[in-house]
Copies of this chain bind each other. A is one copy, B any other.
């Protein structure tokens, strides 16, 4: 029951990530197949890197759901393009929820493979944020997360809250909820108030 709920949210997150990748591919005039691959990489790239680093079986090779859901996302973008543009806020909401859940999943999987908590936090960040990095590498753009906003940092902060709750003896469900809430809250504030990390100064500044 609990797992079904998590799986539904993960699918929603996958769709949101895939759609964001597909829309970016569309803005570059890729063909349908290229757009599918970019959407797929956005959705599963972070988790794939995590699984390779953990030496765990790669998650999307265990069930065809992820490939299918990305295909549905592509069909959705092709058919409902007009309505999508009017609902960017909803997309952003799904994207943020997906991000939070991906962080939680990354942390839990790492702990289940007996890695220490600091590795788990790093893997939570990689699961949430590196799909976008690999997407940007593929479409030959500078990864946005190096500049634009508090994205990966929100993932790390969520991981820190997970750790704190763990240390304070909170239940597993409270660890997950507080971690996800932190990611969502920080990400939302960052967008609303245009938060930014300080820029690194260079010799010529």
- Chain A contacts to B: CB under 8 angstroms: 22-23, 25-35, 37-38, 48, 52-53, 55, 57-58, 61, 64, 67, 77-78, 81, 85, 115-116, 118-119, 122, 133, 136-143, 145-147, 152-153, 196-203
Contacts A139-B146, A140-B141 known; A30 to B200 CB distance under 8 Å?
yes
Indicate how many identical chains form the complex. 3
* Docked pose: A111 CA to B129 CA in angstroms: 32
* Docked pose: A122 CA to B203 CA in angstroms: 36
CB-CB under 8 A from A61, the residues of chain B are 53, 115, 119
Cβ-defined partner of A198 (8 Å) among B31, B81, B152: B31
Cβ contact within 8 Å between B138 and A140: no
Least CB distance from A192 to B in Å reads 18
CB-CB under 8 A from A198, the residues of chain B are 31-32
CB-CB under 8 A from A58, the residues of chain B are 53, 55
* Docked pose: A167 CA to B199 CA in angstroms: 52
CB-CB under 8 A from A29, the residues of chain B are 147, 199-200, 202
CB-CB under 8 A from A153, the residues of chain B are 33
CB-CB under 8 A from A53, the residues of chain B are 48, 52, 58, 61
Cβ contact within 8 Å between B33 and A152: yes
* Docked pose: A116 CA to B152 CA in angstroms: 34
CB-CB under 8 A from A142, the residues of chain B are 28, 139-140
Cβ-defined partner of A138 (8 Å) among B67, B116, B143: B143
* Docked pose: A42 CA to B27 CA in angstroms: 27
* Docked pose: A61 CA to B67 CA in angstroms: 30
CB-CB under 8 A from A196, the residues of chain B are 31
* Docked pose: A57 CA to B147 CA in angstroms: 31
Closest to A198 in B: B32
CB-CB under 8 A from A143, the residues of chain B are 138, 140
